[in-house]
Structure 1
Amino acid sequence: MNYKIALIPGDGIGPEIVREATKVLDKIGELHGHSFSYTEVLMGGISIDKTGVPLTEEALNTAKASDSVLLGAVGGNVGQSNWYTLPPNLRPEAGLLAIRKGLNLYANIRPAVLFDELKGACPLKDELIEGGFDFVVMRELTGGLYFGERHTTTENGIRKATDTLTYDEVEIRRIAKWAFEIARKRNKKVCSVDKANVLDSSRLWRNVVKEVAKEYEDVELSDMLVDNCAMQLVKDPKQFDVILTENMFGDILSDEASMVTGSIGMLASASLGDTKLGLYEPSHGSAPDIAGQNKANPIATILSVAMMLRYSFDLEVEADKIEAAIKSVLQKGYRTIDIMSEGKTLVGTIEMGDLIVNELV
């Protein structure tokens, strides 16, 4: 079968890591009788340079017409790029918000897995990570503060900024169902994270999640305040299975989760909605300081491809094969610079991609 994929290389290291991911996809296609056709789409800073906006309507329509979307990274150094002198709605990251909204991708799945081979890169004490950990952050993606009404005014000579945090029960219920469905395929535990002791939006969140939980009696539900969750991720990450939370909390907690795995270069991400069309991307940024130097770690992007095969194309065997290939390469001691440790073999972006491809049989 042929799958149509919209490729968004983006900025910084994006083109390099996307190139390695497509090499892996093509090898999987060769081994299992699939074909993947790619249409390149501009988004982010490169789109601003060429079209004046971070995402054109044409680019969004190309993504909508695809079976899935693979993104590298967007943006640059805030203090060094002219992109960040533009109004917020014309900056690179606005393209990312626009494509999520345009494709109705409201559920962001970020696995946080500590590979046994990378325990030395984890900043936590050995006794806290014995046996590793494997949990998922399920983040609501199209509501909350990031999409609420905002404005800045001046009153009596004093500048005042207002950001509005809004959720309705439909938005909460649909992301909660995703969390419970995924938990059913894992260890059947959902931890719903909010700030219900302060925020009305969190109190509604907690009530609606509890209503949804009644449909999933086989899944254990717990509630946790976001500040406690931030501490518990460092104290005992093994306690979590699926963390369900709103947009801003999820943004922060998933980044924290990435660091306890040892490197943000290892974390994949999937953004999904009500259809099989998804947006897959690494959790890290564009790292412009190392762009074009063959230093970027492509593993997060390649793991994102595995998620694409699993969630958008229902190709479980192929997804498992990619994950096993990555594990094998790590077991053999190959490392990019971000996960390098004593006694291991340092390789670049291209070499890491080739090593993973060679493990696919």
Structure 2
Amino acid sequence: MSDRFSLLILPGDGIGPEVMAEVRKVIAWFGKRRGLLFDVDEDLVGGAAYDAHGTPLSDATMARAQSVDAVLLGAVGGPAYDNLDFAVKPERGLLRLRKEMDLYANLRPAQCFDALADFSSLKREVVAGLDILIVRELTSGIYFGEPRGIHSDDNNPDNEGGRVGINTQRYTSGEIRRVARSAFELARKRKNRVCSMEKANVMESGILWREEVQWVHDNEYPDVELSHMYADNGAMQLVRRPSQFDVIVTDNLFGDILSDAAAMLTGSLGMLPSASLGAPMANGRPKALYEPVHGSAPDIAGQGRANPIACILSFAMALRYSFDRGEDADLLERAVEKVLADGVRTADLMAADGGTPVGTSEMGDHIVAALDQLG
């Protein structure tokens, strides 16, 4: 018996098409060797979509994303689009996907492979064996709150320049409770610990956040260990003793910052995947978008030097969270770990003492070969 799923691939800009080509090799392997078959469609997002349609995400592509089991995205943006109007910048396509698919829970794992422990900016003994999952609320908070904008401030004589920038931090109980439930559910499958981070000492939205996370814990997940921490202390603790954390749940703004800080504990942004999940569809699978954490890296685009591992591990997250194929996800992660343990490196993972890095395509080939050996 074989399983069949639908997948929309949006390679995007910069190195996106290069790393996505290596994911296609992995998808083909799972179809051939594990009976995991995909109806794969491909479309445009970001700058590529703007070049073709004058918009970073067409309505047709948005409709297609709503209809599939999962979306896999490469990267968006680049200097060629820096002077575009804000409304049509490449990043607006990604934000539209997140908002209209209602992908409220962003999962950012920070896992340190043993072979790369020395690449972290922290000491090996601090990061060795690191395995953290940050759950960031993704569709509300200060990035979406109203009112917002830049306005004249002519009535304030003390305001040199005469303008004011406004962004509104806004959360509802329901928005907080649903992302808290996601964090508790994930913790039950890990080490059963959740740390909630906010700024309840200075922000009313932080007080609400703390109270609602505590309510979900007390009424629905009393078996999961819950702690609370101010987000600024959380940032300090991530670089002081990151192993104290299992699952961290936090709001959109703090999650953006904290997940990038956690990313550097692992040594390279080229290693880090992410998942953005929403409510279950009629088939029981969540609305889902998977993407590497790294950007479009326009400085190396088209050179065959990009590290495809983050995008490949994003597909591993899709296997786990969208397709309920945890064993296959584990297999793919072990294949990546084996390749790294064997000393295979792209340029971003090379030590200062030299060696010859492999290219994007070669790294993909090595991972497929490791799947052959392990699977």
Return the TM-score normalized by structure 1.
0.96
Residue 142 of structure 1 aligns with which residue? 139
Give the conservation status (yes or no) of the 8 Å contact 1:41–1:62. Answer: no
Aligned to 1:174, which of 172, 178, 187? 178
Report how far residue 98 of structure 1 moved: 0.3
Aligned to 1:153, which of 151, 161, 166? 151
> Match of 1:193, SS?
strand
Residue 261 of structure 2 aligns with which residue? 256
Give 1:41's aligned amino acid: D
Give the conservation status (yes or no) of the 8 Å contact 1:28–1:360. Answer: no
User: Quick check: 1:358 aligned with 2:369?
Assistant: yes
Residue 92 of structure 2 aligns with which residue? 94
Residue 347 of structure 1 aligns with which residue? 358
RMSD between superposed Cα atoms in Å: 1.1
The 1-side partners of 2:325 and 2:78 are apart by: 34
The 2-side partners of 1:26 and 1:67 are apart by: 17
The 1-side partners of 2:91 and 2:186 are apart by: 28
Give the conservation status (yes or no) of the 8 Å contact 1:334–1:345. Answer: no
Aligned in 2, Cα 1:34/1:126: closer, same or farther, shift over 3 Å? closer
Residue 321 of structure 2 aligns with which residue? 311
Report how far residue 176 of structure 1 moved: 0.1
Instruction: Pick which of 102-111 and 149-158 moved more.
Output: 149-158
Residue 337 of structure 2 aligns with which residue? 327
Q: How does 1:152-231 map to 2 (within 5 A)?
A: 152-156=150-154, 158-214=162-218, 215-231=220-236
Aligned to 2:307, which of 287, 297, 304? 297
Residue 157 of structure 2 aligns with which residue? none
Residue 250 of structure 2 aligns with which residue? 245
Give 2:76's aligned amino acid: V
Instruction: Pick which of 271-280 and 188-197 moved more.
Output: 271-280
Report how far residue 155 of structure 1 moved: 1.9
Q: Deviations over 1:40-62 (max 9, x none)?
A: 12110111111111111111001
Report how far residue 84 of structure 1 moved: 2.4
The 2-side partners of 1:25 and 1:347 are apart by: 21
Q: Deviations over 1:234-283 (max 9, x none)?
A: 11111110010000110111111111100011111000011223100001
The 2-side partners of 1:262 and 1:34 are apart by: 32
> Match of 1:42, SS?
coil
Residue 279 of structure 2 aligns with which residue? 274
Query: Where do 5+ consecutive residues of structure 1 fail to align?
Result: none
Give the conservation status (yes or no) of the 8 Å contact 1:9–1:71. Answer: yes
Aligned in 2, Cα 1:256/1:218: closer, same or farther, shift over 3 Å? same
The 1-side partners of 2:143 and 2:265 are apart by: 25
Give 1:169's aligned amino acid: S
Instruction: Pick which of 270-279 and 186-195 moved more.
Output: 270-279
Return the TM-score normalized by structure 2.
0.93
The 1-side partners of 2:340 and 2:153 are apart by: 58
The 2-side partners of 1:230 and 1:155 are apart by: 34
Q: Deviations over 1:58-87 (max 9, x none)?
A: 11001111111000000113xxx2x22222
The 2-side partners of 1:343 and 1:212 are apart by: 51
Q: How does 1:40-79 map to 2 (within 5 A)?
A: 40-77=42-79
> Match of 2:145, SS?
coil
Report how far residue 19 of structure 1 moved: 0.8
Number of corresponding residues: 356
Residue 34 of structure 1 aligns with which residue? 36
> Match of 1:290, SS?
coil
The 1-side partners of 2:367 and 2:245 are apart by: 29
Residue 129 of structure 2 aligns with which residue? 132
Report how far residue 33 of structure 1 moved: 1.1
Residue 20 of structure 2 aligns with which residue? 18
Residue 7 of structure 2 aligns with which residue? 5
The 2-side partners of 1:164 and 1:158 are apart by: 20
> Match of 1:278, SS?
strand
Give 1:92's aligned amino acid: P
Give the conservation status (yes or no) of the 8 Å contact 1:334–1:344. Answer: no
The 2-side partners of 1:356 and 1:151 are apart by: 46
